[in-house]
Structure 1
Amino acid sequence: MRIAGLVGAAGLGLGLAAPAGALGAMAQGGLSGYQGAWLAGGSGCAEVYSSDGKGISFKRPVDIFVPAFIVSGNRLKTPQASCRIKSVRQTGDRERFLLNCANAVAGNEVRVLMATQPDGSLRRYFNEQDTTGTQYQRCSR
């Protein structure tokens, strides 16, 4: 299965070009509302995540199919992939993320469209035409 499919199933994807030194700062600035652990679906946070006092991680054994991800700094991690957030760009009421993702098999550039919601949740959209999106609840900051 391609990494884009794995990351998409776990809830991600988007883009912007800038000098390499500016990418980290741009991603950091647009990420403040996304920091933490996120979960969609019927699982509870305690079933998916554990905390070691320093931060949050996926419980072992990791359920590779759980729709969850963790944003920490300019990194985004799913149960199957680890991504560097290259850039974040505002597009209307949503933000496009351009991710550089890798798993045990391959690496790929992935685009994700998300928006934080007034109730503290976020929605991940499959494309610009998607008006519903998938809702994620924050498990931790």
Structure 2
Amino acid sequence: MLAEEVAMGVARFAGATWLGLGIASVAGMSAARAVDAGLLGYQGAWLLEGRDCAEVYSSGGKVTAFKKPVDIFAPAFMVSGKRLRTPMASCQIKSVRPAGDRQVLLLNCANSVAGNEVRVLMAPSQNGALRRYYSDQDPTGVAYRRCS
């Protein structure tokens, strides 16, 4: 799961356990201007299929955020512009490159303890979901559905 893998990568790098980050908005930049064409299908709040969006996210008008208290183990992430946030980390999306029928997202992730570069394999599905793959050899991956 994306949230757990980002957290595990950063935890291994830091060698420590850490607390989740608060969610902050990207100030002064509209999401539409910050989005590369390769990121258009990723914008929004995502949750592992089979989970209830209302258990993880709260919505206040146009803004979606992780529900307080934040479940740091929730298999969820939000993409806004070139930022990807999990319950425990905030990432800048450095690049999106095609890799066959998938895309490789290269992320610079940080939490309150450390930073780490993370490579993520994803592909939009026909049904509007995203599929996250654990490796180049993973034939099925796991599906995330959009909550917002």
Structure 2 portions without partners, runs of 5+: 10-32
TM-score (norm 1): 0.80
Once residues 136 and 35 of structure 2 are traced to their aligned partners in structure 1, the CA distance between those partners, rounded to angstroms, is: 21
Provide, for residues 3-40 of structure 1, a one-character-per-residue CA deviation record: whole Å limited to 9, x for no partner: 955167xxxxxxxxxxxxxxxx8962100001000000
Residue 6 of structure 1 corresponds to 7
Count of paired positions: 122
RMSD of the alignment, in Å?
2.0
Decide whether the 8 Å contact of 1:7 with 1:80 is kept in 2: no
Once residues 95 and 5 of structure 1 are traced to their aligned partners in structure 2, the CA distance between those partners, rounded to angstroms, is: 17
State the 1:63 CA deviation.
0.4
- Is the alpha carbon distance of 1:5 and 1:130 closer, same or farther for their aligned partners in structure 2, counting shifts above 3 Å? same
TM-score (norm 2): 0.76
Once residues 89 and 83 of structure 1 are traced to their aligned partners in structure 2, the CA distance between those partners, rounded to angstroms, is: 17
Structure 1 portions without partners, runs of 5+: 9-24
Residue 44 of structure 2 corresponds to 36
Report sequence identity in percent.
64
Q: Does 1:129 align with 2:137?
A: yes
Decide whether the 8 Å contact of 2:46 with 2:146 is kept in 1: yes
Once residues 70 and 7 of structure 1 are traced to their aligned partners in structure 2, the CA distance between those partners, rounded to angstroms, is: 18
Decide whether the 8 Å contact of 1:26 with 1:87 is kept in 2: no
Q: Runs ≥4 in structure 1, deviation > 6 angstroms?
A: none
Decide whether the 8 Å contact of 1:51 with 1:57 is kept in 2: yes
Decide whether the 8 Å contact of 2:6 with 2:109 is kept in 1: no
Once residues 78 and 54 of structure 2 are traced to their aligned partners in structure 1, the CA distance between those partners, rounded to angstroms, is: 14
State the 1:42 CA deviation.
3.6
State the 1:55 CA deviation.
1.5
Q: Does 1:114 align with 2:115?
A: no
